[in-house]
Amino acid sequence: MTDMAGRADPWPSGRARPIMGFNAGMASRQPTARRYRNRPPSRFLRRLTVGIDIGGTKVAGGVVDSAGRVLDRTRRDTPGLSKSPREVEETIADVVDELTGRHDVAAVGIGAAGFVDATGSSVLFAPHLSWRHEPLREALSSRLRLPVVVENDANAAAWAEWRFGAGQGEDHLICITLGTGIGGGIVVDGLVQRGRYGVAGEFGHMQVVPGGHRCECGNRGCWEQYASGNALVREARELATAESPVAQALLDRAGRDVAAITGPLVTEAAMAGDPTAIELFDEIGHWLGVGMAGLACALDPGCFVIGGGVSDAGDLLLNPAREAYRRTLSGRGFRPEARIVRATLGNEAGLIGAADLAREEIRLFARDPRRASYRRRLFFADERDRG
């Protein structure tokens, strides 16, 4: 068997293929947990990396150390959907340039909201950006003169919670992020599970109610139409629009403006004891638990970590979710139940995870002598450019 350049392939099919660097386009990108845990940290692990979290409204960047601490931060507004991919990439590069101007970093990790292909080189689709089969890794590594890792933002958040947050020590972890929609990531035995084509973990588009609410994806009854921030706001606004007596307190908080009812406003009301807001979280929590019970049938995790803005409600969300999970779990009473816990890293989980995945990949890259010459060329060229 030969590789893409026509050379004899030292890793024929049937054997595990190592990570081959940042521009090789190989499908296997998985950090290996047992090797990671049992070997002392190398100088590559101790180096700083930059993590970038690209959302619909902001591009957030941070310098992250090997303990998951964010040492420096900056952000820019995200260019709109109508902007070209190059404008988005220039915004990312601007964030990285600002941070690398103040810190010596080894690599850059990008957490992108969208489908990232199995090689980690291209963003196949991003709902809030103009990326369609965009070769993001090549474009940014050429522009930045640094190794670049591209990862789905929910996968990056799951990795961060497994490494530094609520999922530490768990061998079978599912991370669910509840924002405007539902994102997800799976970490098993220290490996991010990306699937054959790189798009595993899109839990929000599992159908839980056939023929239910229309979803932006084009289908009906998707999970995120019942257990997300959008679902919470939709239900609250429907009550207010109907002028329900039970919604008057929410309307008062919103200045009598239905459009001003937001997820944070409903969360604030629930935490202040508003019975209608609490009831809304009961409903969102119920559907969250139903969906997790379905995931448990397929994946049998030891722990669900719940993050995203909706999780700010804490046990007002998680207690009804735990109850619904126990009530709908297949084989309940005869099988162990996964723990359901709140994420601890907050809005910076994606940024931290992307940076740490970049650090892990550069460590594996540096260990492979067949790729060392490329790494030297990259950094020597960078030094010449700076000089």
pLDDT above 70 coverage of the chain, percent: 82
Residues 108-129: b if buried by 16+ CB within 10 A, e if exposed: bbbbbbbbbbbbbbbbbebeeb
Which region, left, alpha or beta, applies to residue 108 given φ > 0 means left and ψ of -120 to 50 means alpha? beta
Beta-carbon-side half-sphere exposure of residue 41 (alpha carbons within 13 Å): 10
User: What's residue 216's pLDDT?
Assistant: 87
Question: Domain 170-344 belongs to what topology?
Answer: Nucleotidyltransferase; domain 5 (3.30.420)
Q: Say yes or no: do domains 33-160+348-386 and 170-344 share a fold.
A: yes
pLDDT tens-digit series, residues 207-225: 999 999 999 889 999 999 9
pLDDT value of position 43: 55
State percent of the chain over pLDDT 90.
72
241 pLDDT band, cuts 50/70/90, is very high
The CATH superfamily assigned to 33-160+348-386 is ATPase, nucleotide binding domain (3.30.420.40)
The predicted structure's pLDDT at residue 203:
95
Tell me: the pLDDT tens digits for 1-34?
444 344 343 333 333 333 333 443 333 444 433 3
Q: What is the pLDDT of residue 362?
A: 80
The residues spanned by each domain of the chain are 33-160+348-386, 170-344
pLDDT, the chain, mean: 85
- Give the integer Cα–Cα distance in Å for 217 and 208: 14
244 versus 373: the higher-pLDDT residue is: 244
Cβ burial 231-248 (10 Å sphere, 16+ → b, else e): bbbebbbebbeeeeeebe
- The reported pLDDT for the residue numbered 373 is 42
**pLDDT value at residue 348:** 95
pLDDT in tens, 263-272: 999 999 999 9
